[in-house]
Amino acid sequence: MQSSPDIEILLNGEAETLELGARLASLLRAGDCVALYGDLGAGKTTLSRGLIQAMDTAIEEIPSPTYTIVQTYEIEPCAVWHFDLYRIDNPMELVELGFDDALNDISLIEWPENAGSLLPENRLSVRLAFSGDVRKACLSGGTAEWIDRLNDHFRKN
Ligand SMILES: Nc1ncnc2c1ncn2[C@@H]1O[C@H](COP(=O)(O)OP(=O)(O)O)[C@@H](O)[C@H]1O
Ligand SMILES: [Mg+2]
């Protein structure tokens, strides 16, 4: 399959950010890492909420992990680890938080820049940005495998 430019999606309101999260949920499996880039308030936590809720509708509260750094959701068949690395100074702090285990499950990472070299190359990157009155999401795959999966999911239907 040909390589492709990034996939851009306009997010017109919070509901559409939640919906994109739900759409991504259907793509994910054990071992996947989603890096959520974007400024404060861009919608990283909102997208994570939509994603986690779509995986398990019984989960009612999905707090921002700003203070706890990580929240873990024991979802079947695969746990989801939701990180916010804003307050991480040294990537090595992640080792104590179980980052290796997280990468075997499904990991959602806000402020992935702070993971340094621990951030896997085989990841889906989601860049959220303000674009006039709306928000914009830009999806890109870090590897050929992810690029194929994005093409399959977003360009064929
Ligand atoms: N597409 C959107 N349009 C307008 N507001 C949005 C959109 N997506 C999310 N929001 C709102 O933006 C605010 C900040 O979102 P949040 O997900 O906490 O950002 P971040 O985690 O990137 O700091 C929330 O009040 C949320 O409801
Ligand atoms: Mg956040």
Written as tens digits, the pLDDT of the chain (157 aa) is 445 679 999 999 999 999 999 999 999 999 999 999 999 999 999 999 999 999 999 999 999 999 999 999 999 999 999 999 999 999 999 999 999 999 999 999 999 999 999 999 999 999 999 998 899 999 999 899 999 999 999 986 5
Q: Which ligand is nearest to the CA of 84?
A: 2
pLDDT tens-digit readout, 125-149: 999 999 988 999 999 998 999 999 9
Domain count, the chain: 1
122-141 burial string, b = 16+ CB within 10 Å, else e?
Answer: ebbbbbbbeeeeebbbbbbb
* Ligand 1 lined by 43 (C-beta under 6 Å): yes
Residue 55 sits in a domain of what CATH number?
A: 3.40.50.300
> How many angstroms is it from 89 CA to the middle of ligand 2?
17
> Strand (E) positions, the chain?
7-11, 33-37, 70-73, 80-84, 106-110, 124-131, 134-141
Closest-CA residue, ligand 1 atom 8, reads: 14
For the entire predicted model, the pTM comes to: 0.96
- Domain containing residue 59: 7-155
Query: Does residue 60 form part of some domain?
Result: yes
Half-sphere exposure at residue 67, Cβ-oriented, CA atoms within 13 angstroms: 1
Q: Is residue 1 part of a domain?
A: no
Ion ligand 2 residue ranges (Cβ < 5 Å): 44-45, 64, 110
